[in-house]
Amino acid sequence: MRGVWPILALSAALFLACGRVEFTDSSSLPPIVPDYAGVTIPEGMAALSFEMADGRPFKVEEKRIGDTLYYHVRAWDKKTGKGVRYAPFPVYISHDAIDPYIAYRLIEPSYEGWKEMGLYSRELATYKEMPIVENASVNGGCVNCHSFSPGDPSRMLFHARGAGGGTIFVNGDQVKLLNLTTVGPHKQGVYPAWHPGGRYVIFSSNATQQSFPIMGSQQVEVYDHNSDLILFDTQTDSVFTYEPVCNTARMETFPAWAPDGNTLYYCVADSLASVVENRASVHYELAAIDFRDGKFTGEPRTVWKADSLSVSFPRVNGEWLLFTASGYGTFPIWHKEADLYLMDLETGIVSPAEILNSEDTESYHSWSSNGRWVLFSSRRLDGRYTRLYIAHFDGEGHFGKPFLLPQKKFSHNVLRLKSYNVPEFVPEQPAGLDEAVSKLFAR
């Protein structure tokens, strides 16, 4: 045993010698991923986790001064033993409330097929992710397009595709499956928007197809051959159409209600033959139509259009409307040029939400209940796997710098082989539906 002590002492000395790092001060901010320097986060957000862009080991200390968190980062090189003490970077804390949960779908960003997918909720104050429903409950079919009734997260719907599938409506403990193609005009529902009153749901009904470019940086193109809007009444389980938004001459899609429920915004383009060959000429415009007492009235009106941009996913927050615009087509997630644009509905002025945008795709977005935060998806990390970002909105047309939804370790964003899809804020934790839904599919 006596011979062991010198070896242990030598090992300890070597360890200490190797662990000694000489630090020099730098006036620059640390090169970290994701870029959290200067972002605005809500009070009580789960701690931000990041790593050095070049993979160096680092230590971080947080100091809060007023409503600003300062991150002091020291990083060093293992081989040379030399380190850098970077200038602290600020993270601003907003006292504007944020919904405590978000809901999204996780799916491989693949092509026609899938293996596992599901709808999940995530608590923003922690890293806790809970399944709402996984596709194992619907015999491996596709679950998509979830939508919550505004202000009442116990009411939601989502589609379960595949044999015996349809649209699943959840109202508290009641879960029912309805195949919309069996009622009214026999059209299937795709993109939903729940009316603020809670009784009606507007769906677009799309004939969607994918194609695969033989070369180039875009590997998938998704487009509609035709699409219409249909109105579903949750009290009578009936479906209605209104010719100006349900006709073969034009393709209507991506419906979104104004908060007062009196106006429906949507995207529309002229129908055309051979869509894929002519995809460069498909430019959706933003349109609106009035809605009173459960009925559409009047004629649709163009709200905004541009010859070189195609609009998708309008989302209204009071007098502000946020939408995605890409070079052409209807499915911006595969378009690297897709960016978020903000429209002032009072003045009609549209401008790119520059601070939210990146070189890569920005797409699906949703407003928090109080309109002070926006949640959107972006492919800026790796160009393929969609991740979620949250940004503060001051109510006067200005966004704060967005932050990547924090995970316990940043590497989770890299290692996760699924994309986040259709992110929505939710005021309460959605209930798990696997058991109830699997009963519907076991029949």
Convert residues 256-295 into a mask of x (bound to other proteins by CB under 8 A) and - (unbound). --------------------x--xx---------------
Residue 41 in 3-state DSSP? strand
Interacting span for other proteins (CB under 8 A) from 167-175, 239-247, 378-386, 387-395: 378-386
Decide: 135 and 153 in contact? Cβ < 8 Å: no
Residue 417 interacts with other proteins (CB under 8 A)?
yes
Residue 115 interacts with other proteins (CB under 8 A)?
yes
Lookup: tokens for 105 = 């779908």
Adjacency order of strands within the sheet including 238-240:
192-194, 200-211, 221-233, 238-240
Give the max Cα distance, the chain. Answer: 96
Decide: 194 and 311 in contact? Cβ < 8 Å: no
Non-local (6+) Cβ contacts of 5 within 8 A are none
Interacting span for other proteins (CB under 8 A) from 29-37, 63-71, 342-350, 382-390: 382-390
Residue closer to other proteins (CB basis): 61 or 116? 116
Sign of CA dihedral 277, 322, 100, 63: positive
By CB under 8 A, name the one of 35, 290, 319, 337 that touches other proteins.
Answer: 337
By CB under 8 A, name the one of 6, 113, 172, 348 that touches other proteins.
Answer: 113
Residue 416 interacts with other proteins (CB under 8 A)?
yes
Rounded Cα gap, residues 108 and 136, in angstroms: 15
Lookup: tokens for 15 = 């360890």
Sign of CA dihedral 413, 418, 424, 425: negative
Closest approach of other proteins to the CB of residue 339, in Å: 12
Q: Determine the size of the site formed for other proteins (CB under 8 A).
A: 41
Residue 126 interacts with other proteins (CB under 8 A)?
no
Residue 128 interacts with other proteins (CB under 8 A)?
no
Rounded Cα gap, residues 412 and 407, in angstroms: 7
Closest approach of other proteins to the CB of residue 231, in Å: 34
Decide: 130 and 432 in contact? Cβ < 8 Å: yes
Residue 336 interacts with other proteins (CB under 8 A)?
yes
Residue 54 interacts with other proteins (CB under 8 A)?
no
Residue 111 interacts with other proteins (CB under 8 A)?
yes
Residue closer to other proteins (CB basis): 174 or 209? 209
143, 148, 154, 158 alpha-carbon torsion, rounded to 10°: -20
Residue 415 interacts with other proteins (CB under 8 A)?
yes
Residue closer to other proteins (CB basis): 58 or 385? 385
Residue 274 in 3-state DSSP? coil
Place of tokens 């605005």: 40
By CB under 8 A, name the one of 412, 428, 435, 439 that touches other proteins.
Answer: 412
* Interface positions with other proteins (CB under 8 A): 108, 110-116, 211-221, 276, 279-280, 326-328, 335-337, 359, 382-385, 408, 411-412, 414-418
